[in-house]
Amino acid sequence: MKLLTQTKALADETRLRLLGVLASHELNVGEIVQVMDMGQSRISRHLKILMDAGLVGCQRHGLWAFYSASASNGSRALLTAVLEGLAGLPEHKADLDAAAQVLSERRRSTTRFFDGVASDWKRLSREMLGDFELGQAILGRLESYGRQLGTVVDLGCGPGLLLGHLAGVADCVIGVDNSARMLDAAAKLLPEGPEVSLRIGDLEHLPLRDGEADAAVMSLVLHHLASPQAGVAEMGRVVRPGGQAVLADFLLHDNEALRTGYGDRWLGFAPEDLRSWLERAGFQELSCERHPVNLGLTLMVITARREEFSV
């Protein structure tokens, strides 16, 4: 009986705490160990019980496995009740604070990586993409729909290679990155003027107003984010209704070397996941092109449009 299995799984303080954390964050075992301050074998045992009960799901990306609360098997009402019971408890708040700290350290680690490779980014990009001109492909997708490019934001702009192309066709370009050294490199490359703006900030919490951009680009960035779905949601927030987005990232792959050599957290994405995240962010997918590149990778270039508000 499923209900009996689920209630037995929840009859433990540690598993209740685990479920509370995984309802808010998708984490790997190492991160869960840090959050809960427990040994890995103990965490793994509790995760298995929650998974057997259908309360937690596991998604594998190469050698890493990521866990999150699951409500897709008819357990949504039970999960909601558990979260309502945990709300306001000091222990639950402490767990969420610890998870936020772990993810914040993950972002700082990513920032340190990109600070270190800022001067060598063009070579690293060429190693991945070979002769494929991603900047031209993105520019072509933005221009192909025949609308005037007003304010275009490059989310995760790096050293400004794409911003240089965009500055020639848009009225205003905004580059956002969480690496100060990347932005320093971009400032040296780009022309000065009110039509070019560089801003430091995390892509899950963009330093942009609601609807500030007519178009947004997120190029080879999503697989670095601690929460890629939150990054897509933020892109939806800052693009005006009727505006456009171009998202470029890799199809699911198993090249573990990209974690250490390129600072990747996720080994690509399934097209259906990206489509779902875009729809939740208010976008309608217009096209998805696939291009084989280096290192056994396939690059997806997705074009989408922000839905107009209904009257």
All structural domains of the chain, each given as residue ranges with its CATH number in brackets, are 2-87 (1.10.10.10), 122-306 (3.40.50.150)
In tens, the pLDDT along 296-307 reads: 999 999 999 998
Asked if residues 217 and 245 have their Cβ atoms less than 8 Å apart, the reply is yes
User: At residue 283, what are phi and psi to the nearest 5 degrees?
Assistant: -100, 155
- Looking at the DSSP bridge assignments, the partners of residue 65 are 60
Angle between helices 90-117 and 121-129 (to 10 degrees): 100
How high is the pLDDT of residue 145? 58
- Looking at the DSSP bridge assignments, the partners of residue 285 are 304
Asked if residues 246 and 301 have their Cβ atoms less than 8 Å apart, the reply is yes
Residue 117 half-sphere exposure toward CB, CA atoms < 13 A:
15
How high is the pLDDT of residue 261? 85
Asked if residues 198 and 183 have their Cβ atoms less than 8 Å apart, the reply is yes
Residue 67 half-sphere exposure toward CB, CA atoms < 13 A:
22
How high is the pLDDT of residue 251? 97
Q: What's the rounded Cα separation, in Å, for the pair 54 and 128?
A: 38
Q: What's the rounded Cα separation, in Å, for the pair 146 and 121?
A: 32
The residues of the chain scoring below 50 in pLDDT are 310-311
The residues, any chain, with a CB within 8 Å of residue 272's CB and separated by 6 or more, are none
Q: What's the rounded Cα separation, in Å, for the pair 152 and 288?
A: 20
Q: b vs e for 126-144, b when ≥16 Cβ sit within 10 Å of the residue's Cβ? A: eebbeebebbebbbebbee
The SS3 call for residue 194 is: coil
How high is the pLDDT of residue 310? 45
